[in-house]
Chain A
Amino acid sequence: MQLLEFQAKELFREYGINLLESISSTNIEDGRKHAKELGYPFVIKIQVPVGGRGKAGGIQKCQNDDEFELKYPQVMDLTIKGEKARAILLEKMADIKKELYLSLFLNRSKRCYTIIASAEGGVEIESVKNQIIKEVGLGHVSDELAKEVAKEMGLEGTTAEQFVDTLKKLSKLTIEKEAELVEINPLAIMQDDTIMALDGKFVTDDNSNFRHPELQKYQEKTEIEEQAEKSGFSLVELDGDIAVVGNGAGLVMSTLDMLSDNGGKPACFLDVGGGATTESVYEALTLISKLDRVKGILVNLYGGIVKTTVVAEAFLKAYEDNLIDLPVFSRLKGTESDKAKEMLQGSRTKIFDSVEDAINAAVMGVKK
């Protein structure tokens, strides 16, 4: 899960990382109150769990009440990379001398925490130049290593000291909360030479959630995603009109690819998982029935340990209960697939031998 900027900053504050004064709100009435408390000028920042906000107009300077009334709703109404605003953060304007980049992340290839730092921040990580990369192992960043990074960045005096302090606090935060990534970009040197985190990114390792009840309040899921999680599926909502259901993340991704190649638009990624049962597939169909944009269902199942008859039963039950009246295009392969096909004979589920045929039929079917 990726935290929003203001949530990441809550954690930064808890760990003593220097921040500008800021307040978040979810409606303009609260925003007005905060504007008074904070005082102009400040920056209005959209809170979405994706990058590239500045370019999309999600960060606006605000000098007075008139600008506030104009810009707050504008920013609130933006959609960035398909993500709507979760909140608005008002933050004091900064008097910046220089922007740095600093992050700590779990390095997948090296299997350890790794620091990336640069004396040139403020841009997306791909364009951060002269990256200083240091592997840390599984423990905290040592004083020596932090000093070495500061030196390589060309920092001196109190700025270097503050940087070392910030890096060590960041390391403590990363390890204690088991983050996959914590990023401060930009980490700004202000005109008075203090160091401040102007933006914050924090990605949790969701698998360690059970050890971090304190992070639960940041969990943000659609109602449907939450239900899916309860039932043990993995579901990602997408904006097309064909629901894609399968077993195994790889197979479902593969089905999305083929569907897109053939001109179809997936409405969701739904992996019923390795332990699918009639009940759980029925539950999956219940979730799909709640997605208004769905015009058809594409099922691609490889029955290994899971019997394909389990799926057939779930569909028959769904028809019986009038749960779904959408056309279903399916390819069932593997364990007991002949029996499953027989069970679905004459039902609204059309069965295809190849996934290619099922996809083509689904694309044609929803166009009608």
Chain B
Amino acid sequence: MTEDKRTRGPVTVFLVDDHALFRAGARTELESITDEVRVVGEAGSVAEAVAGIARTRPQVVLLDVHMPDGGGAEVLRRVRPEQPDVVFLALSVSDAAEDVIAVIRAGARGYVTKTISSRELVRAVVRVADGDAVFSPRLAGFVLDAFADRPGAEPISDPDLDLLTPRERDVLRLLARGYAYKEIASELFISVKTVETHVSSVLRKTQLSNRYELSRWASDRRLV
């Protein structure tokens, strides 16, 4: 999709996961499949990650959500103020709504689960490095669910900020149905770039949303 346009070298990636075995596996997979991605460092704890990211200045951080001392959200909170141009892609075995929403709101540019194939993971890394968002169908479902106007929901405080446009909602629906960006583009008769713009703005709204709806929803529903 977008990788053709890239002119710089391989995307530099930093791995954060508390399982050394997983880090080793991910590193091998990422580097053996393609030369688009280069792993520049790895860390097994929040403190190590913060220091390592500051040192190696990667483009993308592959971030585990569950770690002993605070988890991925903590890394995001500590790194983002100082290095706003580092992009985070959450990579977790958990697809519980709470975890997904928490890291997305903390500023991750995407969320993929560990069952993802290596090739798709490389594509996701390259895509977030280019400034796009990566939504798994499940994540799209969570966001749709969180933003759905349903009877009995809280009144919306700031419509400009909080509401998804009908178009964004359409895009999310197709994402949740398992469509690739290209398929969404042809389905809605728009360009892939427009799809990416919609998805990015959904992500921005999710992060900026001051509605407590998201977290409340996540705890109320406990949906997987």
Partners in one complex: no
Give the B-binding residues of A (Cβ under 8 A): none
